């Protein structure tokens, strides 16, 4: 069976990717330093504990498994933290990725699927973004991801490395079978924080800013179900294995929801009250981030079937209540 090296396979999106890779007939080999991931989330293939900066360890793992491709999820990904500690983001995300890309090229593993972000676009309020929209990252997180995209382009010219770059919008939800799900420590994302609040684990959700220029004053995001998102990665892998070459795809749904709308849907899905208070804006937040997914749909054949707020909140809620969520 063919192996795929999954960096960050012990994390939220990476663990879901491992599940669908296994279902697609691959052996997902997780490479993760467990700094933010969880060993017990690695359920679908082997775990190789290691750091992206450890080139010798990476070389050994490439030699052991001879993977046909890399899926690179491992990264720090909190916008607020990136504003406070930019060096941490540049070092881990850019330098770590460079080490990985060099190791992959040296091993002749030339198919690379990269987890990028809509944060590369910055704040372009009013625009439905597409892959050709201007790149104007607002913070070190988005800027470091954008820089890695450029590194990949350079390694195509030098080594023939082919990459599929996915720019994610707001990933949410969980495996509907609740084998894996979202668990960040600390948690900063809207939906899991809201579910914690509903369960009484936190006193109240704070809405970050109610004076934005949107219909209800709160920020608008394009939420994508994590299972739809990782399915796109399997299609991206196939794209590369079929020799179709490097390509960038946005993964959004074209529909945005405000923070207040997410709260309303959560109340409806869980049938429980969501205690919240209104607070100031969070630094680094864009007003509105929404993308069309035309390219992914027409070229990859991607169908984001589960990306309704009901399904995302419902699956996250099931995961929260599954007992696996507590660690």
Closest separation in Å from C-beta 277 to ligand UFG: 10
- Nearest of 21, 16, 57, 15 to residue 39 by alpha carbon: 15
Closest separation in Å from C-beta 10 to ligand UFG: 17
Closest separation in Å from C-beta 242 to ligand UFG: 29
Catalytic residue (one of 26, 89, 121, 141): 141
Tell me which H or E stretch contains 13. helix 12-23
The residues binding ligand UFG (CB under 6 A) are: 77, 79, 117-119, 141, 170, 188-190, 193, 205-208, 219, 221, 259, 282, 285-286, 289
Tell me which H or E stretch contains 48. strand 47-49
- Nearest of 141, 185, 143 to residue 11 by alpha carbon: 185
Distance separating the N- and C-terminal Cα atoms of the chain = 32
Closest separation in Å from C-beta 269 to ligand UFG: 17
The DSSP code for 199 is: T
- Cα-Cα-Cα-Cα dihedral of 36, 58, 73, 196, to 10°? -20
Burial zone of 292 (CB within 10 Å; 0-12 exposed, 13-18 middle, 19+ buried): middle
Tell me which H or E stretch contains 224. strand 223-225
Closest separation in Å from C-beta 27 to ligand UFG: 28
26 is an active site residue? no
In the bound state with ligand UFG, the residue whose beta carbon lies nearer, of 213 and 242, is 213
In the bound state with ligand UFG, the residue whose beta carbon lies nearer, of 102 and 285, is 285
Closest separation in Å from C-beta 279 to ligand UFG: 8
Q: Which residue is nearest to ligand UFG (CB)?
A: 219
Query: Rounded to whole angstroms, how far apart are CA atoms 120 and 154?
Result: 18
Closest separation in Å from C-beta 221 to ligand UFG: 5
Q: Which residues pair with 265 in a beta bridge?
A: none
Query: Rounded to whole angstroms, how far apart are CA atoms 261 and 278?
Result: 14
Query: Rounded to whole angstroms, how far apart are CA atoms 152 and 158?
Result: 10
In the bound state with ligand UFG, the residue whose beta carbon lies nearer, of 44 and 223, is 223
- Nearest of 74, 76, 77, 71 to residue 104 by alpha carbon: 71
* Cα three-residue angle 236-9-254, rounded to 5 degrees: 45
* Cα three-residue angle 184-148-71, rounded to 5 degrees: 60
In the bound state with ligand UFG, the residue whose beta carbon lies nearer, of 72 and 221, is 221
* Cα three-residue angle 205-190-139, rounded to 5 degrees: 115
The residues annotated with a catalytic role in the active site are 141
């Amino acid at each position: 069976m063919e192996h795929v090296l999954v960096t960050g396979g012990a994390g939220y999106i990476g663990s879901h990717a491992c599940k669908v890779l296994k279902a697609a007939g691959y052996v997902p080999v997780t490479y993760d330093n467990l700094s933010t991931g969880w060993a017990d989330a690695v359920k679908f293939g082997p775990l190789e504990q290691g750091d992206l900066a450890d080139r010798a360890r990476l070389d050994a793992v490439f030699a052991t498994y001879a993977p046909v491709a890399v899926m690179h999820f491992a990264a720090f990904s909190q916008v607020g933290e990136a504003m406070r500690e930019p060096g941490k983001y540049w070092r881990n995300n850019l330098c770590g990725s460079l080490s990985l890309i060099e190791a992959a090229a040296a091993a002749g593993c030339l198919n690379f699927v990269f987890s990028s972000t809509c944060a590369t676009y910055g704040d372009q309020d009013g625009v439905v973004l597409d892959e050709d929209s201007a790149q104007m990252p607002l913070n070190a997180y988005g800027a470091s991801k954008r820089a890695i995209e450029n590194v990949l382009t350079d390694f195509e010219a030098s080594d023939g490395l082919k990459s599929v770059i996915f720019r994610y919008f707001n990933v949410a939800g969980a495996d509907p079978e609740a084998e894996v799900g979202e668990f960040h420590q600390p948690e900063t994302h809207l939906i899991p924080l809201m579910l914690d609040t509903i369960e009484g684990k936190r006193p109240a959700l704070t809405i970050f800013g109610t004076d934005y220029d949107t219909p209800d004053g709160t920020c608008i995001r394009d939420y994508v179900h994590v299972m739809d998102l990782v399915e796109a990665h399997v299609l991206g892998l196939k794209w590369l294995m079929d020799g179709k070459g490097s390509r960038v795809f946005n993964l959004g749904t074209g529909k945005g929801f405000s923070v207040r709308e997410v709260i309303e849907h959560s109340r409806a899905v869980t049938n429980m009250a969501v205690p919240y208070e209104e607070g100031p804006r969070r630094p680094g937040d864009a007003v509105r981030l929404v993308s069309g997914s035309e390219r992914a749909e027409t070229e990859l054949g991607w169908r984001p079937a589960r990306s309704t707020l009901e399904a995302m909140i419902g699956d996250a809620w099931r995961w929260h209540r599954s007992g696996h969520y507590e660690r």
